[in-house]
Structure 1
Amino acid sequence: MKSFLVFSSMGPDRPGLVSEISEYFTARGINIERSRMSTMGNEFGGIILTSGRTEDIKSLIDDLDSLRAKTGLDIHVRQTKAPGHREVKPSIPYRMIATSMDHPGIVHKVCKVLKEKDINVEEFETQVDYNAFTGANVFHMTCYFTIPANVRIADVRKDVARVGDELNIDIRIEAVINR
C-alpha cells in the first residue's frame, strides 16, 4: 500500500544538503512528489511531500535520527493523505500580487481579508529587495488561493483594495487556470 509523508527540515545552510536528503529518500525507496526548499539568511528550510510503500515510510520515520546527525537539520514528519484525496470544496483559483514600500503588517492585513471570507491560502511567498535607484526596501508578495463558490470575487477585490489604499500597496488579483 502507498503512503504519503510530509517532511520538513530547517538548519544551518551548507552545500550538499539537498543531495543528502534526496539520497536518504532514494536509499529507502521513497519518492519525492513535491518540494519547496530555500535558503533564508544563513538557514536552509525545506518541506517535501514524499510517497512510498507503507513499510518503507515507517522505516524512514524510524531512522530519522541518522539523517538528523548527518545533516545537522531539525526534522519533523507527518503522515498525510494522497494529494488527490484532499477534501476540496468547489472554488476558483486566484493569484494575488502585491508590491509596496516595506513595512510591518502587510501580510497580516491582506491575509486577514482572506480569512474573514473563508478563503484558503494554498501558496504564499514574500520577498524584500533593496532598490538602488530609489533607495527603498520594496516588498513583493505572491499568493495563490481558492475562492469558494459562495464568495463574490467583487467583494474580495473591494476589501483587498481597501487594505491596499489604507497601506499604500499595489495589489492585483487575477484568476489562474491550470496552475
Structure 2
Amino acid sequence: MTAFANQQLVLTAIGEDRSGIVSELTQLVSDCNCNIIDSRIAILGREFTFIMLLSGDMAAISRVEHTLPIKGMELGLLTMMKRTSSHSEDDYIGAYNLEYTGIDAPGTLSKVTRFIAEHNVSIASLKSDTYEQDNELHMRCELELNLPSQIDLDDFKVQFEALSSTLNVDYILRRIR
C-alpha cells in the first residue's frame, strides 16, 4: 500500500437550513468514492453546518475537491476543505467527558477553555447552549477531552474543582475511553 492510498480531507459546508442538504452532500462524497469516517451537524440560528472527515485514495479526494465547489454553489452553501492525516491517540492517557451547567455568565466558556489549554489538554469536541429556567438564563456545556500522558490527573481534578467553584458551575468529569 502506498502513502497515497488513504488520504483524508476535512469538508465543511455552511448555509441556510433546508431539507435535502445532507443527502446531496453525502451523495457527492459517495459518487467520488470517498468514505465518511467522522461527521457532525449543527443548526445555529437558521444556518446549517456540516463537517465531515473523508478518506479515500488520491483520485477520490481530488474528485471531491474539484466537484464540491460547484455543488456548493448550486446548493447555496459556503464550503471549505483541507487535507489532513490520521490523528494519533498514543500521547493520551484517556478521553474524558466534561459537562458543566450554571447561570449564564459572560466569559465562563473562555475561562474553562483557557484552563484546559494551560494543562495541555486537547479538546476533541465542544457543544454549548443556553436555556431559560426559573426566569433565569442558564448555560450548559459538554466537552470531550483527550488528557495528555504527562498530566497529573488528581491535580487536574482538584484545580478544576476550584475553578468550577469560582465560576459557580456544577460539573461532572468522567472517563469515556
Q: Which TM-score applies when normalising by structure 2?
A: 0.91
Q: Is 1:49 the equivalent of 2:53?
A: yes
| Cα deviation code 1:27-72 (max 9, x no counterpart) | 2112211100111100011110111221121121122221121211
1:121, 1:115 → 2: CA distance?
A: 9
- Structure 1 unmatched ranges of 5 or more: none
Match of 1:33 among 17, 28, 37: 37
2:120, 2:42 → 1: CA distance?
A: 29
The answer to whether the Cα contact below 8 Å between 1:114 and 1:156 also exists between their aligned partners in 2 is: no
1:75, 1:46 → 2: CA distance?
A: 10
The answer to whether the Cα contact below 8 Å between 1:113 and 1:156 also exists between their aligned partners in 2 is: no
Match of 2:131 among 129, 132, 136: 129
Q: Is 1:110 the equivalent of 2:112?
A: yes
**RMSD (Å), alpha carbons:** 1.5
Task: Give the partner amino acid of 1:126.
Answer: S
1:113, 1:88 → 2: CA distance?
A: 23
Count of aligned positions: 173
1:150 maps to 150
| Cα deviation code 1:63-91 (max 9, x no counterpart) | 222112121111111111135xx364142
Runs of 4+ in 1 over 3 A off after TM superposition: none
What is the SS of the residue equivalent to 1:63?
Answer: helix
1:78 maps to 82
Match of 1:99 among 98, 101, 105: 101
The answer to whether the Cα contact below 8 Å between 1:94 and 1:146 also exists between their aligned partners in 2 is: yes
Task: Give the partner amino acid of 1:97.
Answer: E
| Cα deviation code 1:85-106 (max 9, x no counterpart) | x364142221111000112111
Q: Which TM-score applies when normalising by structure 1?
A: 0.90
2:69 maps to 65
